[in-house]
Copies of this chain bind each other. A is one copy, B any other.
Amino acid sequence: MIELDKFFKSPFTVDNVIFGFDEGDLKVLLIKRGEEPFKDEWALPGYFVNENEDLDSAAKRVLAELTGIKNVYLEQVNTFGAVDRHPLGRVITVAYYSLIKISDYNLHASSIAINAKWHSIAKLKYLAFDHFKILMACFQRLKNRVRERPVGFELLPPKFTLTQLQHLYEAILETNLDKRNFRKKILSMNLLLDLNEMQEGVAHRPARLYQFDKMKYEQFLAEGYVFDLSGSKNKSSKKKSKKSV
């Protein structure tokens, strides 16, 4: 029988890339570090995993302590274990991302959150540790996920307009979509519930409000449905020589 104690042991952490969507922009919740190393630099919220804690639970705990939010979309992405990734010694970190509705998040709910702030992803260039690399890995995963699963709705308020939904997809996919083609496609999936309600107080024609029909999606899933959002491209989003054969 092997003896576990004879092997190298390391502390390990979870880091959580918390995505939110606001003002047409994809954002990530970062914390300004209060101590060395990387004091006063922006970093991903994360913490050491406890002895009796599963990885997913640890990631949820990090999120709940920071935002007070539970019951959230959470996905493990990758584990970063470069020997020198932490200046004080070896620390392995398991990266997660989660999707929250910014409206649910109350910045002043917790004391930890005092140094937390939403940042537009597009503008970020650097983070403490290897966190920028981690962020990019999670962003890439989200990009892929959003095409094949209806996870985008996790980022929107329960009632939303089709234009909001389109802007969300455009922000995540970093592309432009054609309005008519997008609407045609998304409505043809029959996953949106038309609430027969309208926007109020906007200085233009008010838009219809929709809700994601989770029940229907789960029913479709059971029938072998494949969510697939690929089309509805816009001329201006074309890259060089796409040859999707």
A218: Cβ under 8 A from any B Cβ: no
Q: Which residue of B lies closest to A79 (CB)?
A: B79
A55: Cβ under 8 A from any B Cβ: yes
Q: Which residue of B lies closest to A36 (CB)?
A: B1
How far is it, in angstroms, between the C-alpha of A83 and the C-alpha of B56 when the chains are bound? 11
**How distant is A6 from chain B, measured CB to nearest CB, in Å?**
9
A44: Cβ under 8 A from any B Cβ: no
A53: Cβ under 8 A from any B Cβ: yes
The one of B53, B90, B243 in contact with A220, judged by C-beta atoms closer than 8 angstroms, is B243
How far is it, in angstroms, between the C-alpha of A37 and the C-alpha of B243 when the chains are bound? 51
A245-B54 in contact (CB<8A)? no
CB-CB under 8 A for A7 and B225, given A81-B94, A220-B243: no
The stretch that binds B, out of A9-17, A66-74, A158-166, A203-211, is A9-17
A117: Cβ under 8 A from any B Cβ: no
B228-A245 in contact (CB<8A)? yes
Q: Which residue of B lies closest to A51 (CB)?
A: B8
**How distant is A188 from chain B, measured CB to nearest CB, in Å?**
5
Find chain B residues with CB under 8 A from A90 CB. 51
Q: Which applies to chain A's interface (DSSP): helix, strand, loop or mixed? A: loop
**How distant is A211 from chain B, measured CB to nearest CB, in Å?**
19
B92-A35 in contact (CB<8A)? no
B83-A53 in contact (CB<8A)? yes
B11-A12 in contact (CB<8A)? no
Find chain B residues with CB under 8 A from A223 CB. 240-241
A122: Cβ under 8 A from any B Cβ: no
How far is it, in angstroms, between the C-alpha of A188 and the C-alpha of B244 when the chains are bound? 10
Find chain B residues with CB under 8 A from A92 CB. 12, 55, 92
5 smallest A-B Cβ distances: which pairs? A9-B9, A55-B81, A7-B11, A224-B240, A7-B48
